[in-house]
Structure 1
Amino acid sequence: MKANLLALVILATAAIAARGNITPSNDTSGASDAAAIQSAIDTAANGGTVTLGSGMFYINSQLNVTNGVTLAGQGWENTVIKQVATTPSAETRVVTVSGGAKIERVTLTGGRV
């Protein structure tokens, strides 16, 4: 019984720590991908990982990665986050990272970090 309870606790913790594989919506306006990614970041446990699938993610707002969350892709050449704000410029942020958060295996384009 104790072993079963321990296994259940471990599985529940893993489910909280890692948010599922988010796939691109193909919504080039950026609204869908931005909302999905930010929601996953916001609900991830401190130190958890949000995993992005392969493809182009279009965002129309800045992503904020905080609380030790890792935003991980499938490789620099496979996972791209592209800022498509209505007036993108070199000053438009794609993402901000704070509180020990990390971004791994993702290409960011269309603005600055």
Structure 2
Amino acid sequence: MARLQYLELPVGDRAEAKRFYAEAFGWGFTDFGADYAATMSGDTDIGLDAAPDKVRAPLPVIRVEDIEATLAAVEAAGGKVVVPIFAFPGGRRFHFRDVDGHELAAMQPG
């Protein structure tokens, strides 16, 4: 079953964002490269993206079992793929816009 697993937040300064969320909520982060950090709770996690080409708005990420079948289903339902399937540490994902123009991502762990 697909479920919301992740929320990526665009941030200007990764270290400052980590400090804020640690102080405000007690969250710990794991660094992935120079521009990215994420909680690793195993529940719905938060990613902090400070890369120059980061998303412009919060990005909900939906965990799915079959990335190719999900891409086909998104397109058949009227969604538009904006970033094709790509690999990242932890699996594969793609980004799409729903029928109202919201950008989301679907990811398959692996």
Q: TM class by shorter-chain length?
A: under 0.3
Give the TM-score of the pair, scaled to structure 2. Answer: 0.22
Give the TM-score of the pair, scaled to structure 1. Answer: 0.21
- Kindly name which structure, 1 or 2, has the bigger radius of gyration based on alpha carbons: 1
Task: From the two aligned structures, give the one with the greater helix fraction.
Answer: 1
